[in-house]
Every structure is written in structure tokens, then in C-alpha cells.
Structure 1
Amino acid sequence: MSAPVRPGHTVPADDRAFVAAVDAALAAFLRGEVENLAAISPDGRHLVDAIASLSRGGKRMRATLCYWGHAAVDTPATVDIVQAGVALELFQTAALIHDDIIDRSDTRRSMPSVHRRFEALHAEHGWALDGTHFGTSAAVLTGDLCLSFSEQVFGSLGAAAASGTRARLVFDQMRMQVLTGQYLDVLEEVAGPSREPAEAVARARTISSYKSARYSVERPLVLGAALAGAEADLIDALSATGLPLGEAFQLRDDVLGVFGDPALTGKPAGDDLREGKRTVLIGFALQQAPADEAAWLSAQLGRPDLDSATIERLRTILIDSGALRRTEQLIEDLHRRAVTAIGLLPAPVPVRAALTELAGRAVSRQA
């Protein structure tokens, strides 16, 4: 049974027009910034070109969640929700750029990652000094510039995004949480082998919550409502929806990072194992596999030279230990919690229907 909604609150049946508007507004913004950077130097366009290329491949999930959070509010305050979506997509692009540097990933969305793109530019022109260092340096600066763009666009929302507003607090917390979660993820890669395996799943879930679950789902959903002037009870209800769904989304990502089809994910098979990701999936295996297999698994994590045979053996441990089954069960449980919370939202039927459909896609996706 859902909570009541006042009569007269109508919203569009789908978000396709909104997503198209975000795409157009994002492209227009970046075209303008190309001109701004080119006025400094023609070489400045390399930075914006890299951002534009990466941002074109996004699913717009965070922007879409912001839209539906905004649509959940009866008589919403006037705000340019399209620009809010652009700000979120720019933040996502910045996070991906930095994430690929940290993980030393060669590809993203079936294209060279941004640091590899700049490394290739160095090689193409035969420039001096270390091409790898140039690529990393240029990508760090590109990610920082993208963060600046995100703040610039969000600030353009005016009073709705001003200091002291609920929306500004949500936006600032989102950025703080994901950066802290990213650090905890990096820390776990190096400190995890020396830490107690019994706590591996709990540590991984904390990382998952702050690195991904909150900023991928819960914060965008709540941000849209906050920009619309939502009351605290709706904010709380949307948070109760977004947190389990966000964690389920990240757990699916973890499974795809080991078992996904590279043709669909755009990443090499088993890439998370080479990167040393100590996810919930890995945590379950460390707790449940025989001691010798758990020790061998832990020793292999983070080895960039893992071959296909070793990857397959690691996958077998994840399956035979029951780690994959436990992770899939957890995804199902979290999805069920999210759908239940959606049903209780004091929001129009189209909003609840859209969020239910998004929840299904988040946990069943193959990329």
C-alpha cells in the first residue's frame, strides 16, 4: 500500500524527453567550454574533448534519478532540473576519470580511458619525456576540470542550490562521501590482506555504500526532491528507497567486474581481480572458501599479469565457495527492500512505476 498523494499532481509518464534534454544541454555546455579553453590556447581543447568523449557514453542514470526525485514532490519549486542532471553527469564523468587512473584501467566504455587517451596523444606527436606520466598528469587535470564544471553548473541553479539549502547540503555530502569511499577502497586493496577476513564483508559493504550506493542512487534521488523543496518525510522515504537499491546496483557491478561479458561491459574479463578489488563478492569467498584457497585468492588479487587460466580458477573459487550465490542473494534481498520502499512512497503512480522499473534494470543489467 502506498502513501497518499494529493489530487492534481501529475507528471510525465516517462523520462525520455528529460534524458534527451540533458544530452543536449551537456553537449552545449561543453561546446561553450571548448571555446573558453581554446581562447587560452588551442591545446586547451584536448581537455574538454576528453570529457565530451567519455560523457557521451553514459546511461544518465543519476540524472534520471534526480528527475524522478524532483517529480515525486507535489507542487515542486521552480528549478532547472535539466541543469541539475548535467551537474550530476559531469560529476560522474570526473569520478570515472579519476577511478580509471587509480585502477590503472586501460579502457572505459570500450574506449581508451582518459589517461591512456593522453598517453596515445603523446606518442602520436612524438613529444619528449615520459608519455605515461604525461597521460596520468593530463587525466588528473581533466578530472579536476570536470569537477569544476560540475560545481559551475550546479551553482547556476541559483537560490535552490545556494549555501545553507538542503539541496546544497546533499550535493556537498555526495561529493565528500564518494571521495572518502574511494579512499577506503584504495586502502582496503593494500591493507585488506593483513586485516581480519571475518570483517571483510562488513568493510566491503561500507566501501560500497559510500563509494557508489549513495552517489549512484540515493543522493541523486534525494537531490531532485530537495531542489523541488521536498519536506523531510519525503526525503527520508526516498533515502530509504535509494540506499538498498544503490547497494544492489554496486553489487551487480562487482559481479560483472568478475563474470561480465567484455563485449557488454567494455572492460576486460576479470578486470576487478587484476585491480585487486576487495568487494563483497571477494569478502564472502575469503570467509567461506577453504583456508588454502582463500589464501591463494588473496595472494592473486591485484596482480596485473593474471592470465585467463588463473582468472578462471579464481572464478571457480568464487562459485564453489558459495560467494557468488551469497552475493546474488544479497542483491535480491536489497532489491526487494527497495521495491517495498518504492511502494510506500508518497508519490504519483508514474514516479513509483519508473523507480520500480529502474530498480529492475539496476540489478539485472549486463553492463
Structure 2
Amino acid sequence: MSLLTTSVVKAFSVLSIFVWLFSCHTSENKYEQITGQAQGTTFKIIYSTPEKVDVSNSIDSLFEAIDQSMSLWVEESLISQVNSSSDSIPVDSHFINVFLKSQELFHQSKGAFDPTVGPLLSAWGLARKKDLPLPTETKIDSLKELIGLNQFQLKGNILYKSNTKAEIDFNAIAQGYTVDVIAEYLESLNATDYLIEVGGELRSKGHNATGNSWKVGIEKPIFNSGAETNELQTIVNLDNSALATSGSYRKFVELDGKKYSHTIDPKTGKPVDHQMLSVSVIAATAMEADGYATMFMVLGEEKAIDFARKKGLLIQCISEEKGELRVSYSPGFEEIMAE
């Protein structure tokens, strides 16, 4: 949202854990279910088609195709070639789709959403992982010269970069895109109902096996560096839409009693300095929800709510104030909360 192998975690900000509250428990079960591991995380897909179809092999092929396009952990992937090359590179349709959406979000956010921020993430992340000193102002300034999606230009299917050392990391958006690709595939099979989850990014259509809306839970953002699931903060009805959550409460640097968020502001080159711990976004597509969630973690609660109100997005922000959690919503979000 980093991406695409079993050893990778979300780099821009850690996804909340979503709990499937209603699944497939009826005597006449028309739903199929597949689960597995991909893209450094787990996935779960529940779906119903007019004729029962086993989609396991096709889903594996989709994961592999997206890995070959955008995985930084696949040496020969397109994105690895882009990052290591000083020349223009032809890219595939998956890469183009994600690049164009990233470019749109980059301009909408005035640079708050920026998939070239990887060098700064690495600098701050290494300080956390290897117990190194935090990066100096000099180091930050030097790395900021590599930051900016405007250093890349797409003409047709050819990607050019003006700074040969600049790199792209689609972590903040590609997992959501993967969910959309799977949804499009299920749509091609005339799927009437489905709920798709990859690494916490979700997209739904229709109803669950009880005939009701799909219901999913959003985790309470309690600081927790482990894999344990926190208790739920909110349960929502997910009707023909997508949901993604980003947060800073699992990955952080703590020095001298101060927590440094793993969400980096591309403009300052430093961790964001606000009290928002997580934001959940509901949008038409999982790629949009994923990208907006990352953007909002950079912008903070006030700007996120204002942006969501103007764009008609449904979002939930959870912030910490004097040791207590404070929850705020954009107009309309509370209407989709399950009672």
C-alpha cells in the first residue's frame, strides 16, 4: 500500500486487520471460498457465480502477473527494471493503471501521496530495525532530491525518468489494485456476490450468505508492534464498495520515549507530526481507497476530513488526544456503521 512477497510488510503505513463478521454458513451454500498467501500477506475470497467455478488457478496467475509488474522483490519485475535503469522502459497495463492513479493522487494531494518516497522510508526504517541514529538533516535533504513523482513521465507505454537515481514503490496502492483486478475477473464470470480481501484491502458486491450486507470490522488502533489483532473499533456494512485502512500504530520508531510514525511526509522528509493513528476509507475501488488512506495519513485528521467532504468520500479517522482515542467521521460514514 511494502509489497508482493511473503517477507514484506506494508511500507507506507500498516493496514488495520479486518475481521470477516459474516461469511458462508447456510445449509444450501452457493458460495465458494479460497484462501492463501500472496504479496507478503494473506488473502481470502468468498464468491458466488451462476455456475460453481474453481478460480484458484486463475487467481494465482493474477497474483503472479502483478508481481512480475510491480514487485520490488522480484529481481526481473518491471518496477525493478525501472528503478535500476537510467533509460526509458516499456511497461505493461498493470503498471500503467497504477502509475496513472498514483499520478492523479500525487497532484490532488499536492505531493502528499508520493510513491517515490522509498529512500526516506528506508532511512527511517533502518534506524528502527538496526537501532541506528535517526537520519540527520543533511541526509534527509540529500534524499529529498530523489523524491517526486514528477520525475517520471509516461508516454504511451514508455516510462521516462528525468532523475536516473529516482525510484518508484507502488506499495501504497498496488495491493488495492490487486483486489480490483480480482473483482474484475469475478465480474467476467458473472459473479453475483463476493467479498475479496488481500492484506486488509477489501471490495464487495451483493450480499453474504444470510442475504444481508457484507459486514467487516475495523481494528482499534492500539500501539502494537506484533501480529496480534486488537479489538474492534467499528463494524461497517460494505455495500458494493471498497474499504482500506492505513495506520501508524504498528510500525514506529521509539527513541527517548517519543514515537516516530512510519508515515513519512514527502515534503519534510520526516515522519508526520500529528495525532491521527489510523484512517479508514470507503471508495468505489480498492485502489482508490488504498491510495486515499495513505494520502490521509500524511495530511492528518483535519485536512483528511475536509478533503473527504469535498470529494464525497466516506472516511473514519482515529486520533490520540491526551492518551484517549478520538473518532471522527466524514459526512455519511456513520450511516453505514452496523448497529
Please report the TM-score for the alignment, with normalisation by the length of structure 2.
0.32
Greater Cα radius of gyration, structure 1 or 2 = 1
Between structures 1 and 2, the one with greater strand share: 2
Greater fraction of residues in helix:
1
Compute the TM-score of the two structures, normalised by the length of structure 1: 0.30
